[in-house]
Structure formats: structure tokens, C-alpha cells
Amino acid sequence: MSTSSKTIAVIGGGPAGLIAAETLSAAGARVTVYDRMPTLGRKFLMAGRGGLNLTHSEDLPAFVGRYGEAAGWLAPMIEAFGPSDLIAWAEGLGQETFVGSSGRVFPKALKASPLLRAWLARLADQGVDLRLRREWQGWNEAGELVFAAQDGAIETAAPDATILGLGGASWPRLGSTGAWAAMLAGKGVAMAPFRSANSGFDVAWSQMFAERFAGAPLKNIALSFKGRTVRGEAMVAAYGIEGGAVYALSADLREALADQGAATLEIDLTPDLSRAKLTDRLHRAPGGQSTTNLLRKAAGLSPLEINLLREAHGVELPREPGALARAIKAAPLRLGAMRPLDRAISSAGGVEQAAVDENLMLRAVPGVHVAGEMLDWEAPTGGYLLQACFATGVHAARAILRA
């Protein structure tokens, strides 16, 4: 069958689905995008509220390693549509990019809306048919796709191939409900349960600390858990702690909580100072100071960090320089539950890797491919989430074009 005569249904109007639709329609396929929401790219726009971190500039081997257990099977897809390809795509839509101090890549507009508008205009130019307010309900007995329109009407479609880009199960109010999981499981598709990813953790702060410091950033810290250390930033929340450095360890922390019912995160408040150098500074400090002034002047700690130390170690901190340095370099924070799935930035779980072939086609449902966060992979924030959504969407689309 020639590409121009192929009809493709893309279900889900997020990054994975839209890049698949663009790739297919650019090659001449007739593409229809279905989405149950009244507008497209809602979670994409939400991500843009923080600056739209498209991807990351680090070397590709390190980049791929961010996907943990899924790195092996995601690597060929990310290599085929990697960070440089995503940057070129954005700039081709008129959105210049820049690399931030952390290595993250952003559009200069620091918003998702200009990029999404240009993207939708391109899809329209390429003849993509957008059908909104259509909720996918699975297949009928004839094997056709079934959609419920907002007015209650039922529509069916019998495309040559289908790509599902329905997202995970985080931020359900934006459209990612995970309701599709039961339909696929009913077809014999192996599913991993959904779990929170890139989410904060409860901490039993004192009332004073929570009221005074909720919303305050912890900058230039190092977090450690079970031999892994991450430099970066975190944020104190009224319920506990969140932020990029926490998210980078969240998978390990989540599993420890599930397996052992407890997890203790260590915070180094002076990662640029060795313990020996910090001990020397504390030792050389003038005597007679209060502990607060000693920490502020000799260790350079902020009021937030000083109070965090007391939350971790108790109100009475050690005065001996070596012991105080150890306390500053390894403040233990006992974590409670991970925040619920509907408050997570992303979700782990979904379609298991063994349930798809090398083309991301469901083994149990031939002709149906899946892409994006529907697949069982997870990665920290920093551009890795969007990159994998784009890469898997492109991969599925290219596989259909080759067929």
C-alpha cells in the first residue's frame, strides 16, 4: 500500500500523538487525531508554565542512562530522534532555543503556547484532521475503533493502522486518566500498575517550620540515598519536600517505601565544601557565638537551612566542629508517603515493554502502536520526559510508514 493511501488514526493529542501525526502526514498519509478534551496539548501547556524544558544538552550516553531499566530498549529510539533533532524541530517552527545553566534546553519564549500554535498550524497545513471531544471506547465486534462524541453520538473508524498516545495516569484533569489501561488489559496486553513518578514526599515538619518555610527553595544542595547522590535544588512544601533533585531519586525512594515502609534521604547543605574544610571553618570561628550565628557566618547557611538542620537533628545541635560539620553534610530527612498519582508530574507503569514489538506495535492487537507515557518507562525531570514522548511517537510513525 502506498503511503498516500494509508489512513491512520492517532488517539491522544499530546506530544507523542501529535509528533506521530506530523511524521505520518508529512509523508503523505491521511491522518486523523482524536482526543476527548476540547483542546490539544493540555499537559504540554502545563509543562510550559515552568519554562517548557524540551530536552537536555548532556552527552547522549548519559542522557539515555536517565531512563534506568528502560534505557536499553529506549536507546535506539532516542538515538534516532534525539535532543538535536528535537531542537531542530522546535526551531523549524520558529521557536529559537537556548541551553540553561543546568544544561536544560528551553525555547527562548519560555512558554509552550507559541510552539503549540505553530505546531497545530503545521498539522493543519499537512491536512491532519483533528476530531476533539471524542472519547475512545475501544473496539466493536467488527474491530472498528469506537468513539463517543460529546453529544452522545457514536462514531466508528477503520484505519489501516492506529497509534495510541493517551498518556499515563498523572494530572487526570488535563486528560491523562489512565482509563485506557482496562481496555488494553481486556485485550490481553500486559500492564504494569501505575505509580507516582517525579513527585514529592511527605515529611513530618514541625508546625512552625511548615508555616514559615513552605514554598522556599533549597538551592545548591546534594541529596543522597543508598549510594546515589544528586546535586541540584529542592523545594520545601507544607506537606514535605519536592523538586528536581528529589525527583531524580524518586523511583528508588518510592520502591524503598513500598518494600520497607521507610526511606531516609540525606541532605548535604554545603556540597562545595568538604567535611574537612567545613570543620576547619567552624573550628576557626570566633568563640562565644550562638549556634545560629556560627552556622550563618562560618558555614554560610540561610535561615531555612539552619532550621532544616534542626528539623533533621533536633533543636540542640552539636557544638564540636567535627560533629557539627557531619550534621551539616548529612542531615537525615525521614520521608513519609509519596504524593498521590493525581499530583505527580508523571507516572511509572503502563504497557509493559514485552507487550510491544520493535515497532511499538501491540503483540496482542496487531496494527495498533503505542507511544509516549503509555509505555512503562520513567525518567526524571530535566527534558527527559518530553524527549522520550517525542522519540517514541516518531518511532511508531516511521514503523507504520515502512510497513
Q: What is the DSSP string of 98-140?
A: EE-TTSEEEETT--SHHHHHHHHHHHHHTTPEEEESEEEEEE-
CA atoms of 138 and 121, how far apart (whole Å): 29
On whether both 329 and 216 belong to a single domain, the answer is yes
CA atoms of 287 and 282, how far apart (whole Å): 10
Local confidence band at 46 (pLDDT 50, 70, 90 cut-offs): confident
On whether both 156 and 219 belong to a single domain, the answer is no
CB contact at 8 A, 324 and 280: no
CA atoms of 115 and 41, how far apart (whole Å): 11
On whether both 226 and 139 belong to a single domain, the answer is no
- So what's the pLDDT on residue 306? 97
What average pLDDT does the segment 228-232 reach? Answer: 94
What are the DSSP E strand ranges found in 124-262? 129-132, 134-139, 145-149, 154-157, 161-164, 191-197, 201-202, 217-225, 228-236, 240-242
Average pLDDT, the chain: 95
Q: Using the structure block, give the residue that is written with the C-alpha cell 530535566.
A: 382
C-alpha cell at 398: 516511521
CA atoms of 30 and 126, how far apart (whole Å): 9
Domain residues for the domain of 222 are 201-335
pLDDT over 90 at 50, yes or no = no
CB contact at 8 A, 245 and 233: yes
Last residue of a domain, one of 285, 305, 335: 335
pLDDT over 70 at 243, yes or no = yes
- The SS3 call for residue 85 is helix
C-alpha cell at 274: 568538604
DSSP string covering 246-307, please? HHHTHHHHHHHHHHHS-EEEEEES-TTS-HHHHHHHHHHSPTT--HHHHHHHTS---HHHHH
- So what's the pLDDT on residue 11? 98
Nearest to 174 by CA among 20, 49, 350, 44: 44
DSSP 36: S
- So what's the pLDDT on residue 130? 97
- Model pTM? 0.92
CA atoms of 61 and 83, how far apart (whole Å): 12
- So what's the pLDDT on residue 2? 65
- So what's the pLDDT on residue 176? 84
DSSP 388: H
- So what's the pLDDT on residue 259? 94
Local confidence band at 311 (pLDDT 50, 70, 90 cut-offs): very high
pLDDT digits (tens, 9 = 90+) for 342-362: 889 999 999 999 999 999 999
Output the domain CATH number for residue 117.
Answer: 3.50.50.60
CB contact at 8 A, 167 and 175: yes
On whether both 290 and 366 belong to a single domain, the answer is no
CB contact at 8 A, 18 and 41: yes
Q: Please name the amino acid found at residue 75.
A: A
On whether both 216 and 257 belong to a single domain, the answer is yes
Local confidence band at 326 (pLDDT 50, 70, 90 cut-offs): very high
On whether both 315 and 357 belong to a single domain, the answer is no
- So what's the pLDDT on residue 1? 59
What average pLDDT does the segment 216-238 reach? Answer: 96
pLDDT over 80 at 48, yes or no = no
Orientation of helix 15-26 relative to helix 384-402, angle to 10°: 30
Q: How many domains does the chain have?
A: 2
CB contact at 8 A, 399 and 369: yes
pLDDT over 90 at 49, yes or no = no
Q: Using the structure block, give the residue that is written with the C-alpha cell 538542620.
A: 309
On whether both 127 and 215 belong to a single domain, the answer is no
Nearest to 135 by CA among 5, 38, 223: 38
Last residue of a domain, one of 276, 311, 335: 335
On whether both 219 and 366 belong to a single domain, the answer is no
- So what's the pLDDT on residue 287? 85
- Say how many CA atoms lie within 13 Å of 69 toward its Cβ: 10
Q: How far is CA 106 from the centre of its chain?
A: 15
pLDDT digits (tens, 9 = 90+) for 71-123: 999 999 999 999 999 999 999 999 999 999 889 999 999 999 999 999 999 99
pLDDT digits (tens, 9 = 90+) for 350-394: 999 999 999 999 999 999 999 999 999 999 999 999 999 999 999
Cβ neighbours of residue 82 closer than 8 Å, sequence gap 6 or more: 60, 63, 387, 391
On whether both 41 and 124 belong to a single domain, the answer is yes
- So what's the pLDDT on residue 98? 97
Number of neighbours of residue 151 by Cβ within 10 angstroms: 6
pLDDT over 90 at 288, yes or no = no
- So what's the pLDDT on residue 112? 94
Going by their DSSP bridges, the two strands 161-164 and 331-335 should be labelled as unpaired
CA atoms of 278 and 275, how far apart (whole Å): 5
Going by their DSSP bridges, the two strands 129-132 and 134-139 should be labelled as unpaired
- So what's the pLDDT on residue 101? 85
On whether both 317 and 352 belong to a single domain, the answer is no
Last residue of a domain, one of 335, 367, 389: 335
- So what's the pLDDT on residue 172? 82
On whether both 155 and 226 belong to a single domain, the answer is no
CA atoms of 83 and 77, how far apart (whole Å): 11
On whether both 28 and 163 belong to a single domain, the answer is yes
pLDDT over 70 at 300, yes or no = yes
